[in-house]
Amino acid sequence: MMEHSGDVITVLTTDHRQVEEMFAELEALRGAGRDDRRKELAEKVIIALVGHAVAEEAYLYPAARRHLPDGDALADRAVAEHAEVERLMKDLEKAEPGDPVFDHLLDRLVAEVRHHVREEESRIFPDLVRYAEPEDLISLGGKIRMIKKIGPTRPHPAAPGSPAAGKLLAPGTGLVDRVRDLLTGRGRD
């Protein structure tokens, strides 16, 4: 994903739009005989979504719990959605674009992520603007940019799910994932 600055909402909304662009290209390429491009795009989507999810779980959802009246319920629901998306991404990594399973998994992933984005952008983001201090939102944006630089690039559905565990394990897991990506050429432009 492109580097961008700003508060937490700007950073995450930019991520959402970039992932949506990749989804649109994946959908447009269906049946076009461009399986290599679809596999490459699916890998980029997974890399982007993993970094985004780790950042949200480490910083956005704890902030929602602190600041929003219904923050615990919103964060719990979002974390559960992340777990489902992570399982779908793990299965999608193993599938090949020529296989109908790939399209089924991709359709489910796209639907889950789009639903998740709508929930965040219509509930969590407006409420954070309402209840959190602007400087807190800017600080969270910086923290999210930082963890995305060092965090994992591959789904790890069995990893501990607490924000503290995520912050602690993200750099080590991210290093291993990035070495694997380098050795395999995964995610290169």
Mean pLDDT by 10 residues, the chain (189 residues): 72 97 95 91 92 92 96 95 92 92 96 96 97 96 90 65 50 52 58
- Please tell me the predicted confidence (pLDDT) of residue 157: 64
Matching CATH number, 8-184, of 1.20.120, 1.10.1740, 1.10.110, 1.10.287: 1.20.120
- Please tell me the predicted confidence (pLDDT) of residue 150: 80
- Please tell me the predicted confidence (pLDDT) of residue 2: 44
127, HSE (Cβ side, Cα atoms, 13 Å): 19
Q: Where along the chain do its domains lie?
A: 8-184
8 Å CB contact between 12 and 56: yes
Q: How far apart are CA 52 and CA 64, in angstroms?
A: 16
- Please tell me the predicted confidence (pLDDT) of residue 69: 95
Integer distance in angstroms from the first to the last C-alpha of the chain?
11
Buried b (16+ CB within 10 A) or exposed e, 145-165: bebbeebbbbbbeeeeeebee
